[in-house]
Amino acid sequence: TTKRYPFQTAILNDLHTNMSVIKPSQVGLTEVQYRKACAMAYRNPHRNIIFTLPDNNMRKRLYQTRVEDFLDVTPIFNPKGTRPTRSIEINQIGQSYVLFMAANEQAATSQPADAIFNDEVDLSDQATLALFNSRLQGSDWKLKQRFSTPTYEGFGITAYFELSDQH
């Protein structure tokens, strides 16, 4: 539900190919976005969706404390008689995959994607995020969704937001 933070509804429904969201801390946007990524994977077969976090520790913490339980208890992600591939990095949802990756050069190499969700943009290496976005070249979607608490004007999420339509 988005009852506590009604503004999340617009973010959930927004499928603009290049979305940048400036967020304050602790408003549930990470939760909204990883759930959105999983729902997109479920509803769109044969897609690869990458969800990045700045480092392995943040990725592990998010996955183990929130994503893993969410996937385990949501029946549509666990059809009877199947054992989807599930790990801290690779999560099969239907006939698609959501990959939770640390924003490092090794993870950003040789993995095609249809959508990239970058969480905590300002804490990530900006060149590595650009490399992740190059993974979209072979997709007909090329969906980029970035979100972060800002650190400096003109850097990271504020720079991306300034280039956007600021909807």
The pLDDT tens digits for 79-97 are 888 889 999 999 999 999 9
Q: Quick one: pLDDT at residue 97?
A: 97
Cβ 121 vs Cβ 52: under 8 Å: no
Mean per-residue pLDDT, 7-28: 88
Cβ 17 vs Cβ 142: under 8 Å: yes
Residue 1 has pLDDT above 80, yes or no: no
Per-position DSSP letters for the chain, written without gaps between them: --SS-TTHHHHHH---SEEEEE--TTSSHHHHHHHHHHHHHHHSSS-EEEEEESSHHHHHHHIIIIIHHHHHH-GGGS-TT----B-SSEEEETTEEEEEEESSTTTTSS---SEEEEESGGGS-HHHHHHHHGGGTT-S--EEEEEE---STTSHHHHHHHHS---
In sequence order, the β-bridge partners of residue 48 are 97
Locate 8 and state its tokens. Answer: 């999340």
C-beta atoms surrounding 54 within 10 Å: 21
Using pLDDT thresholds of 50, 70 and 90, give the confidence band for residue 167: confident
Q: Quick one: pLDDT at residue 68?
A: 96
Q: Quick one: pLDDT at residue 15?
A: 82
Using pLDDT thresholds of 50, 70 and 90, give the confidence band for residue 151: very high
Q: Quick one: pLDDT at residue 36?
A: 95
Residue 128 has pLDDT above 80, yes or no: yes
Q: First CA to last CA across the chain, in angstroms?
A: 22
Q: Name which residue leads in pLDDT, 119 or 6.
A: 119
Alpha carbon 79 to its chain centroid, in Å, reads 23
List pLDDT tens digits, range 47-81: 999 999 999 999 999 999 999 999 999 999 988 88
Q: Quick one: pLDDT at residue 24?
A: 83
Q: Quick one: pLDDT at residue 110?
A: 80
